[in-house]
Amino acid sequence: MQLDFNNPKPIYLQMVDEVKKSLARGELKPGDKIPSHKEQAHLSKVNPNTVQRAYQEMEREGLTETLRGQGTFIKNDPELLVHIRSEMAQTAVQQFIEEMNGLGINPAETERLLSEHLYNGKKEV
């Protein structure tokens, strides 16, 4: 799990994002067990309370479920992966558009640059 302690985004939210990315990449699958709070705190070198907050957030978002005495699991929901990928893609596209707008690049130029990169390989701006 890659955490950036210099990032202004709270660590517990970075942990949630990392689990989502692992799902999107196929490293985690619905039904997989994730480490206990204590194990994850040790692996991530963070306070167990931070891990607890991340796990609570994931459960609140419907990403995980805790089975008493068994642990915490990625929710076994067939639509989960579709939803996570769609949510992450929308966020990435929105950030890209905001960045291009911030650079003063108009939508037509943004579309041209994107098309070049997608269909002709990487070209210089």
- 124: pLDDT confidence band, cut at 50, 70 and 90? low
- pLDDT (average), residues 29-43: 93
- What local confidence, expressed as pLDDT, does residue 123 receive? 52
| Fold of the CATH domain 11-74 | Arc Repressor Mutant, subunit A (1.10.10)
Report the pLDDT value the prediction gives residue 35, as an integer from 0 to 100: 94
Counting DSSP H helices and E strands in the chain, the numbers are 5, 3
User: The pTM is what?
Assistant: 0.76
Q: Provide the residue ranges of all domains of the chain, joining segments of one domain with +.
A: 11-74, 80-119
- The CA-atom distances, in angstroms, between 109 and each of 76, 116, 118, 122, 123 are 42, 11, 14, 15, 14
Nearest to 55, CA basis, from 70, 76, 72: 72
pLDDT at 14: 93
Condensed to tens digits (0 to 9), the pLDDT of residues 75-96 reads: 998 788 888 989 999 999 999 9
- How far apart are alpha carbons 80 and 105 in whole angstroms? 35
Residue with tokens 């957030």: 57
Q: Compute the residue count for the chain.
A: 125
Q: At 18, is the pLDDT very low, low, confident or very high (cuts 50, 70, 90)?
A: very high
d(CA 42, CA 15) in angstroms, rounded, equals 13
